[in-house]
Each structure stands twice: as C-alpha cells, then as structure tokens.
Structure 1
Amino acid sequence: MLKQPKDKSSLVRVMNSTFFDLPAPKNISFSWNMGSMLFLCLFLQILTGLLLASSYSPDMENSFITVMLSMENVTKNWLIRYIHANGASLFFICLYYHIGRNMYYQSYLYKHTWFIGVTIFILTMATAFLGYVLPNNQMSYWGASVITNLLSEVPYIGPDLIKLVWGSSSVSAPTVMRFFSFHFLLPFVIVGLTIIHIALLHETGSKNPLGVLSINNKYMFNPIFIFKDMLGFMLGLFSLFLISLLFPLTLGDDENFFNFNPYVTPIHIQPEWYFLFAYAILRSIPNKLGGVIALTAAIFILYLMPYMHLAYLPSTFYPLNKLIFFGFSVNVLLLTWIGMCPVEKPYILTGQILSFCYFLYYTMSPLLNYYWEKTIKL
C-alpha cells in the first residue's frame, strides 16, 4: 500500500511509479495501443465539444441554422465540427477494436476492469446518440423520434417515460435542451470511469497474446511502450485530420443537409454507422417489444461474458475458436451493412440470420473452449 507523499517531489515519484513504471508484458502487440488511442480520442472529443458548445443554441427552431451559420462565420469552426464528427467515428473504431481484442484474448476474466469498460462503452453510445440529435437536421430528428419511441415498450411506465424524455408530446425544444445537457455532462462521467478503469488495470496488469503468466518477462511501461503509444497517436491524428480536411462528409448522410421537417419522413431512417449493427438486430425482430429486448441484449450480454467462460486454457490455443471469432467479426460487419439496407427482401431474412449468429457466438465459443479442453485432457 502506497504511503501518503509528504511533498510534491514525493507525489511525482509516486505518480511515475504508478503510471509510467508499470511493468507490462514484453510480447504485447499493437492491439494493446487502442487503450491509449481511446484516451486521446476522448480528450479530442471533449476539447472540440467545448468549443462547439460555445456557439451552439439548444433550440428546436434555430439549432440547425445556428450550426450552419457558425461553420461559415466562426473562424475555423467548420474544421472543429468535422474533427468532432469524424473523431466520433475514430473513437468507435478504436473502441470496437479494443473490445474485440479483449474478447479474443479473454481479458474479460479481469471482471471489475471489464465491467467498468462495458459501462464506459454503453455511456459512450448514449453520448454519441445524444450528440447526433443536436444539429436538428432531418435525419437526426427522425432518428431521435424512432429511438426514443422504443421506450414505450417499457412495462407500466413506458408512456410516462417517453414524456419525461421528450418534455412534451413529441421531440421538441425541451428534448433538445435535455439532450444537450446530458451530452455535455456524460463525457466527464466517462473521464471519471476511465480513471477507475486504468487504476483497476494497474492492479491486475495487462494480459498478453499467449494468455499465460509473465511476471518475470516484463518491461517497464516507460519508455518503450510510451514510444509505441506516441506512434499510435501520430497515425491516429494523421488519419483523423486527413479525413476531416479532404473527405469530411464521407461518413455522413445526405439528409443531414436539410432542416428537420416533422411532416416529411425520410425514405430510409438510419443512425450513424457505428450503431448500424445494433439497429439491424432491432429491425430483424418483427415484434417491437422483441426488437427492444434483442437490442438491449446485444449490448448488455457483454456483462455476462466473464460468467460464461468455462475453460481454463485461453481460446487462442484452439485454431477452430480463432476461426469462430473472426467469423463473428465478419458477422458484425455484415450486420452493419444490413443496417444501411432498406427493409425489404432479401435483407430482412439476411438480418435475422445474422442476428441469430450474433447471439449464437456468445454461447458456442465458451462451450467449444470447454469441449476442446476436456478432449485434450482425455
């Protein structure tokens, strides 16, 4: 247990020994850089978000016009907004890669660290959705209407819960004000949980690709892994600025250029690309309540992964399990594609099959691990 430092120099030494001199396995790869990349993305999103908030008006009638005018009249505000919008995409790319790596190498066995990480993931999704609504364009308005309407399926309190969220009988000015408030506050909650997440990680140490104990086979985090993280920062920032300057609208929707119109429904309502896999699962169930349950289960099933693990040896020792994991990754990508497709044949049936395979992975993978381990012991 660390003693209370008596002066500032002692405090610096404690911080260095805690955060920079942490022993890390020698054989960790670039996949372990995603944690630091996520911290960089979070910092950029908070910084650009604070700058954008200074020129934003949370009003139903004027939000869209305010956003458009601020991009034209406020110095470099167009660049800040594009960095913020595309930075969210970079954030989710790193986040999904980070979660996938932890699933592949079974880092979820560090339960407390995993639970905090999943909570950060859910809060990040909530923050991104709230921010998507704020420009009040045609797609964000109808996206907010569709997603918040799902709350009507909550037993007993569904209708009252929708009114509480909307602050009115439909998506209106109070809704935008509430969404703006929570979109502003949640990132700071995520920062606090991130600090807890890192502290818990330092208690257990990082896993390594072999999944075996490596107590005597470690390097200090500084300077070797600091330089690796800095290389990841440069690559990430280069990619972000390249897209923001040359292809800023690639990941957006054409409906984002139009002010909201409550009397004209877009032909195909869809969220941002990083929500499409969950949106496809929602649409694959013909019953509204069933779709809400499937959508919720698709995210919250991550909390159950530590308890579904049955084997002792890491799954990376079994080639078939590797194939299943990469098949699961392809399945999520295909669900993302299905979420962009119209609700018609053959996309409906394809989405239902892919949704079934999505949930099948969470039961099949641990059972196969257990089977292979018992077979080898025999």
Structure 2
Amino acid sequence: MSFPWARHYQPKHPIMRWIDGKLPLPRFVYNATGGGYPVPRNLNYFWNFGVLNGAALLIQIVTGIVLAMHYAANTEFAFDSVVHIMRDVNSGWFIRYAHMNGASLFFISVYIHMLRGLYFGSYKAPREMAWLIGVVILLLLMATAFMGYVLPWGQMSFWGAQVITGLFGAIPIVGQPLQTWLLGGYTPDNATLNRFFALHYLLPFVIAGVAILHVWAIHIPGSNNPTGVDVEGPQDTVPFHPYYTAKDGFSLGVGMTIFAALIFFWPNALGHPDNYTPANPMQTPAHIVPEWYFWPFYAILRSFTADFILPAKLWGVLAMFSSIFLLFFLPWLDISPVRSGHYRPLFKKFFWFGLVPSILALGYCGGAPVEPFNLIVSQVATAYYFAHFLIILPLVARFEKPLPLPASITAAVLEAHRERRAGGASGFRIAADNAD
C-alpha cells in the first residue's frame, strides 16, 4: 500500500490477535476495504458501480450454482429442464429470473463503469494495469454470457450459437477447424451444449479471481478521482470505511431495488420471445439477434456489406473483435497529461456528442431489423467509433489546450463548496427580492 498515513490494523481482542498472527486475513480485509485504505474525498456516485459489479457477480454465481443442480445439458431435455425449474422447483422461477436479469444488471453496471473510466481518464498512468485487467473481465463476461444464452436451448439460443460460432468460419485457414472445435461438431448439438455448460459454470469463478486482481491493481496506486489530480497527502483523503461503505451501501440499495422491480414486474422485458420456443434446426427465425448487451458489436459486424480485398463477412468479424481489443491500447493512444474530461474542453465535446451517441446508435441498430436506414446509421456510427479512438483522441491530446487544474483535491472540494454556498445565497437573495 502506497499511503504512509493510512491506519494499520491492530487487533484488540486476544482471539483476533491469534488469528491475525497465524493467518493475516483480518488485516488484509481491513487494509483493502476499511480505514487502512484512504480514498480521495471527492469521489462521486459514478465510483459506486464497482460494488454493483461485485454484487451482480455474486448473484450470478449463487443463482447459477442452484440452477446447475436442476439443469440437464442435453438437447433432448435442456428446454424441458428449464421449464421444470420455472414450474416445479421451489422458488425456481425467482432463481431463474434473477440469474437471467442478473446478466443484464452486470452488463449495465460494467458499461457505466467503463464509460466513467473513459471520461475521467482512469486508463492513464499509473492505473494502466487496472484498466487492462478490466478489459479482460469484459471479454470473460461476454464469453460467459454468450454461452449462458445457449443453455436454455430455445430458438434464439440455437440460432445464436449457429450464427456467432459461424463467424469464426470466416477466418482464413483456421476458421473452419476452429468453428468445428468450438461446436464439437458441424452444427450445435449435444457436444456444444455440454462444453458450453461446463465453461459457463467455470468462467464466473475465473472472473471472480480476475476481479480480485483488478481491485489489487487499483489499490496499489490508489483510486482515481473526478479532478484527475494526484493525492498529495492525508488532507485529500478519507478512510474507505465508514465514508464510502455507506455511500456504496446506498447505491447498492438503489440498484437492488431496481433489480427487484425488474424481476417481479418485468422479468421478460430484456429477453427475446423466440427463446421461449424449443430449438428447431429446421426453422430459421425471421430476425436473429443476440441479447441486448451484444447489440453494439452485432451492429458493427453487420455494417460491412461489400467485399474489398477481403470478404465483407471477414471485415465484419475483424471490426467486431477490434472494437474491444482497441480498448487495450487506449492508455497509449491518449497521450494527454490531463486525466479528467472536466478539464479537457475538446475531449468533452467529442465524448458526449460523438462517442456516446455513436455507441447508443450502434446499440439501437444491432437490435433493429436490417433495413437501409439502420444499415447506414450503423456504418456511420462504426466509422466514428474507430475514428474517435484512432484519430480524434490522439489529435485532441496533441492540440487541445486544457483548463487549469486545481492545486489539489482539497482545493477543488473547497471551491465547489464555496460555489454551492454562493449559489444558495444568491438564490435566497433573489427569492427575497421577489417577495418584496
């Protein structure tokens, strides 16, 4: 830990002293989450999505273990076993809906968490490793979610597996053998279901291990903050507990309330109705789409329609995977010394009026039918997405004139406090004048 002013764990009870001497787990927990870990005093609620990520992962692991006790990884019985869970297992409907919607909760939280990192420069030095590990978590999460979507063995499960694994077949030379290896044959079948079930059960525990590395990588340099200014001393920080455990608890309560409302009132709002029909290899759905959290990447895949040197399908596959792997190079693409978007006028404009709308447009087009207008929008949004990271961001970092940074985190907090008091006083004066 790189904070010399941090309080260190000193157990008082004889039993805790004995445990800490033999296995310093209490000390480790205290230093990681308690008063032994100082955090910047100006963190806002965008920093609370980390705890929501952890809660969503825990929900998925616990509900997944229970579902695995009743699921049959066989094409003849998989769909019926899901129906059995919903109808016959005690509280099975709740466990299945919690698991199904928990994936959406996880992705919503992760996407907001990453957008926060993009805007406030959390990928910049000295936090590059935390960002890289976070992108690895995203890749593992996407793989886990895709394989989980196949397990109910409904219509969209089968054809989603057929389409997505078929993308690997577009890769020259190794594509077809790779697709056959993924499926365990030439089409989704028992072998596919068995290996997807095994990997879907295993990968959440891998994600949990990588998440621990992610938290560890954050704790070494310390958390970033909205100003992007480095911590100068104890006056810039507060202990994580009780200040941010209370703040995290509030955010967790709001998130779980929304999650409960989704489960009890709109449990199928984020699912596709075709997946409530058993898989039929002889009947292709009219509109094959993945789950909503894959829509932006699916739109990128579909935006390539013409062959140019390489087949259009291969261009789409390369662009789809590149849109994620591009994030690994972000710490070296953005060379601006200023982290926070608050103090970067040009960056802020391109972020809010360029990158965010392009991602939202891709999300819409990925779930919409393939029509000329949707295709044009997805092509424009795809072009901007790559241009933002590969062209705009390096140029903005080179030519932008940032705003003056605050002298310290404490100075920024006190200045914001003075502005709020001044605004309140002026509002009171205006109200008094109007009353007169």
Please point out which of 48, 51, 55 is paired with 1:40. 55
Corresponding residue for residue 137 of structure 1: 154
Corresponding residue for residue 248 of structure 1: 267
Shift of 1:369: 2.5
CA distance in 2, matches of 1:93, 1:266: 27
Indicate conservation of the 8 Å contact 1:281/1:295, yes or no. Answer: yes
Corresponding residue for residue 348 of structure 1: 375
My pick for the range that moved more, 326-335 or 286-295, is 326-335
Please point out which of 177, 186, 194 is paired with 1:169. 186
Indicate conservation of the 8 Å contact 1:108/1:305, yes or no. Answer: yes
Please point out which of 1, 4, 15 is paired with 2:29. 15
Q: Deviations over 1:244-302 (max 9, x none)?
A: 00110111111011001111111110000000000000000120100000001011100
The one-letter code of the counterpart of 1:13 is R
Are residue 365 (structure 1) and residue 393 (structure 2) matched?
Answer: yes
Indicate conservation of the 8 Å contact 1:310/1:367, yes or no. Answer: no
Please point out which of 66, 72, 91 is paired with 1:57. 72
Are residue 67 (structure 1) and residue 67 (structure 2) matched?
Answer: no
Corresponding residue for residue 195 of structure 2: 178
Corresponding residue for residue 335 of structure 1: 362
CA distance in 1, matches of 2:61, 2:403: 51
Q: Deviations over 1:60-90 (max 9, x none)?
A: 1210111012210101100111111111111
Indicate conservation of the 8 Å contact 2:344/2:401, yes or no. Answer: no
Are residue 156 (structure 1) and residue 173 (structure 2) matched?
Answer: yes
CA distance in 1, matches of 2:343, 2:80: 56
Are residue 190 (structure 1) and residue 207 (structure 2) matched?
Answer: yes
Shift of 1:375: 11
Unpaired segments ≥5 residues, structure 2: 2-7, 12-16, 306-311, 405-436
CA distance in 2, matches of 1:143, 1:67: 18
Shift of 1:207: 0.7
Indicate conservation of the 8 Å contact 1:313/1:373, yes or no. Answer: no
Corresponding residue for residue 347 of structure 2: 321
Are residue 208 (structure 1) and residue 208 (structure 2) matched?
Answer: no
**SS in structure 2 of the partner of residue 24 of structure 1:** strand
Aligned-pair Cα RMSD in Å? 1.8
Shift of 1:17: 2.4
User: Within 5 A, what are the aligned runs for 1:84-163?
Assistant: 84-109=99-124, 110-163=127-180
Unpaired segments ≥5 residues, structure 1: none
The one-letter code of the counterpart of 1:89 is S
Corresponding residue for residue 419 of structure 2: none
- Runs (4 or more) in structure 1 with deviation over 4 Å come to none
CA distance in 2, matches of 1:306, 1:99: 13
Indicate conservation of the 8 Å contact 1:311/1:373, yes or no. Answer: no
**SS in structure 2 of the partner of residue 60 of structure 1:** coil
Query: With structure 1 as the length reference, what TM-score do the two structures score?
Result: 0.96
Shift of 1:341: 1.4
CA distance in 1, matches of 2:345, 2:239: 32
